[in-house]
Structure 1
């Protein structure tokens, strides 16, 4: 066996080990997300997570450093499960009209609020909203801010204003927060009180887009001749 062949053979187990480690880390993250969704951060223990994952007790510390760091990673993943930045960027790929871009994004947001699928990320985020943890700053920087920047840029385009303008920031709240409210509202309550909404999801998305764009049109007109931004 040549020297190069021996070196290649020696490296193969290390590559396999790294792959196994990455798979174990991902598995732990997924199980932890389910446990955090069921119990919340305060009541979820590393012991239960490892037992349900079928991994050694030291796995949480080995792969994440601490239970707190595992929860932080689960929060970031939860936000990605709801909607990822790569997904948002894909929605507007090939579109040049800012309004069409906004339509695609808002329709997706409304679709999320009416989806029957509920990955563990939804419950983890809901628990975090109701009882914020010390991981909020990390969640903002790693998951929320990049998507907020994306949405600010998009609505800034529609309004013809700098994305950093106060008017754009307010417009993002008007456009996005109703979607968040629809996401967290119990599906049973929606079906009982507003049955027409549940029956025609496409009409809900279309009317919501009309509602938001009409409001943005009014803001654009108001700020064209107004020095306030």
Structure 2
């Protein structure tokens, strides 16, 4: 009788040092169909609500109800209610002064610096005199009167780039570098009256200074004369004080 053949044992797999196979990574989230439209709709709805009631009174629940979307859509598109309000503030500032429009005016080689500045001021002052201003105008009025925690972000993302354009433009009007202290002061002298006209309640001027609201064109023209006259005086004084000038 033949002896049984020895059973073959299965060799253990040889270690190669290769790392274990990783699990398949989840696919990156892609925007939902119509997502941009939903985001814009939420932005418009929230902007109108914040214009009516302010940030403290504009709740996430009411924004979602007005927009006809789930509350989760706000977090999906903006991260939080604060993120939504930040986007509203930036859009509000854009409605008042659009950076692209401001740059287009400032870079127009066929227009004098004085006329460029007049065009910018006429737009802002004209908006303050109309009753049909976009919701961004009312949002900015509320934010100026009662600043929120998002104001520093607004300054960095929206105000600072436009302020740089205004400094360069007013520097051209004065004939001084935009880093000159007089240019920085002049920006304040030019912009602050326009801001005051924007935030001042209409009821006061209508009773005390009715010409401010009865004649918007006259208001714009006289403000421009006032601003340009002051800038001319500043230019004369500071140019004369520069080294090498008499």
Same fold (TM over 0.5): yes
Alignment map for 1:52-201 (pairs within 5 Å): 52-91=66-105, 93=108, 95-201=110-216
The equivalent residue for 1:45 is 59
Aligned equivalents of 1:21, 1:65: Cα separation in 2: 14
Please list every run of at least 4 consecutive aligned residues from structure 1 whose deviation after the TM superposition is greater than 3 angstroms: 89-96
Q: Distance in 2 between matches of 1:163 and 1:94?
A: 18
Instruction: Measure how far apart 1:43 and its partner are.
Output: 2.6
Could you state the TM-score of these two structures normalised by the residue count of structure 2? 0.80
Instruction: Please give the TM-score of this superposition, normalised by the length of structure 1.
Output: 0.86
Counting helix residues as a fraction of each chain, which structure ranks higher?
Answer: 1
Deviation at 1:106, TM superposition (A): 1.7
Compare CA radii of gyration and give the structure with the larger one. Answer: 2
- The residue aligned with 1:7 is none
Across the aligned residues of Structure 1 and Structure 2, the Cα RMSD in angstroms comes to 2.0
Q: Partners in 2 of 1:40 and 1:96 — Cα distance?
A: 39
Contact 1:95 1:101 (C-alpha < 8 Å) held by counterparts:
no
Q: Is the 8 A contact 2:47 2:139 kept in 1?
A: yes
Q: Which runs of 5+ in 1 are unaligned?
A: 1-13
CA contact (8 A) 1:155 1:163 kept: yes
Match of 1:8 in 2: none
